[in-house]
Amino acid sequence: MILDTIDNAQFYFNLSGFVKTGLEFLQNQKNLNGLPEGKIEIDGENVFALVQNYDTKDFDERRWEAHRKYFDIQFVVKGTEVIKVSQKSTMKPNTDYNSEGDYQLFTGHGSAIELTENQFIFLSPEDVHQPGLMINNNPQSVKKIVLKVLIG
């Protein structure tokens, strides 16, 4: 897991060409807040963005997820949320891996991280996460871009 601001994105370009492509997409957009909700192709199925608008929620402990095919780079454009993170080795699987949706659900506990505007969190397949959580039982409107970056 990496937590940083988009201003420091260049430090992570060497992780892979696909990571660089995704982070440059975020850096080069003139109006991230104006991007429409939905999927934006950046480099076909290698790198794409999922633009989301939602209110943060209070999820139960069964809603943890992890991915195998893609890294997640979750970037907050507007608002603040809590994302919980844990290592896969400390979690209990709830479902089998869904290869079509690239996810597996887990149960467990983890650390809460506050993700604010202009910050991103880089999540690997070992980082089980629970995004979109409210702070202090106070729902908040969030605009977030989730970059899906092919591993490999």
pLDDT tens digits, 32-88? 999 999 999 999 999 999 999 999 998 776 589 999 999 999 999 999 999 999 999
How far is 70 from 97, CA to CA, in rounded Å? Answer: 13
Query: What number of other Cβ atoms are within 10 A of residue 150's Cβ?
Result: 19
pLDDT for residue 61:
60
Mean pLDDT of the chain: 96
Q: Which two tokens stand for residue 1?
A: 């897991």
